[in-house]
Amino acid sequence: DIQMTQSPSSVSASVGDRVTITCRASQGISRWLTWYQQKPGKAPKLLIYAASSLQSGVPSRFSGSGSGTDFTLSISSLQPEDFATYYCQQANSFPPTFGGGTKVEIK
Amino acid sequence: QVQLQESGPGLVKPSQTLSLTCTVSGGSISSGGYYWSWIRQHPGKGLEWIGYISYSGSTYYNPSLKSRVTISVDTSKNQFSLKLSSVTAADTAVYYCARERVTTDGSFDYWGQGTLVTVSS
């Protein structure tokens, strides 16, 4: 299985801050990388697919980049509703696997 | 708008079989381009893909669970189901059903709300 490693595991930030989360794959996955946002007690929500494509309805302050093994999710100006846990997922190889998550907390 | 809803017992005894059903509304489970998946999340932990099924019945399971998992589909009811046998406390988790965009980017774009299944005597 491809291992997905996210860093940091948690980050404290203030409203208006720029936040960057990293996801590293144990082997190359081209651009088969998706980012999700999950709030407590809720299902994950698709944010970014194919490494950098914004899902319909997702605010443009979210962006993704990367290819191969290294990927980033950026939130340009953190909003109150963005405090959540973020997961990456690879779809390059069977089985699909997820990162361990990054919790974005209020500073 | 596609919606998914899990249903099934919230409590299962050790060694028994966990059974869940996902009902899809707002779209046909028989539409091409998608696989219908089960994903679980242990309390306070990350996400684990269990397996998926196509509308035609082709199945793919996580090798780590393959010996205990069966996923089936009922297109007439627009439902798909999960059975996980010989459960232990380690199978206590929130179980989600989700739709995977298998022919495009492999993302899970629609999810059910999740259902907590506790394995306990």
A80-86 long-range contacts (CB < 8 A, ≥24 apart) are A80/A15, A82/A19, A82/A37, A84/A37, A84/A38, A84/A39, A85/A37, A85/A38, A85/A39, A86/A6, A86/A21, A86/A35, A86/A36, A86/A37, A86/A38, A86/A47
Regions of chain B where pLDDT drops below 50: none
Q: What residue ranges in chain A does DSSP mark as E strands?
A: 4-7, 10-13, 19-25, 33-38, 45-49, 53-54, 62-67, 70-75, 85-90, 97-98, 102-106
| pLDDT score, position A107 | 87
| pLDDT score, position A96 | 96
Contacts of B34 (CB under 8 A, 6+ apart): B54, B55, B99, B100, B101, B102, B103
| pLDDT score, position A70 | 98
Task: Identify the burial level of B18 via C-beta atoms within 10 angstroms of its C-beta, where 0-12 means exposed, 13-18 middle and 19 or more buried.
Answer: buried
Q: Which of B49, B96, B105 sits opposite A43 (nearest CB)?
A: B96
What is the residue type of B91? D
Specify the pairing of strand A70-75 against strand A97-98: unpaired
| pLDDT score, position B31 | 84
Q: Which of A44, A92, A97 sits opposite B111 (nearest CB)?
A: A44
Specify the pairing of strand A85-90 against strand A33-38: antiparallel
| Phi, psi angle pair for B55, to nearest 5° | -65, -25
Q: Is the dihedral of CA B21, B115, B61, B22 positive or negative?
A: positive
Q: What is the mean pLDDT of each run of 10 residues along chain A (107 residues)?
A: 97 96 98 97 97 97 98 96 97 96 95
| pLDDT score, position B32 | 83
Taking a contact as any Cβ pair under 8 Å apart, which residues of chain A between 23 and 42 contact chain B?
32, 34, 36, 42
Q: Are A104 and A85 in contact (CB under 8 A)?
A: yes
Measured distance CA(B98)–CA(B47) in Å, rounded: 12
Residue B46 to residue A94, Cβ atoms within 8 A? no
Least Cα separation, residue A11 to chain B (angstroms): 17
Q: Are A19 and A11 in contact (CB under 8 A)?
A: yes
| Phi, psi angle pair for A82, to nearest 5° | -90, -5
How many angstroms separate the Cα of A17 from the Cα of each of A75, A76, A102, B32? 8, 7, 16, 41
Residue A34 to residue B49, Cβ atoms within 8 A? no
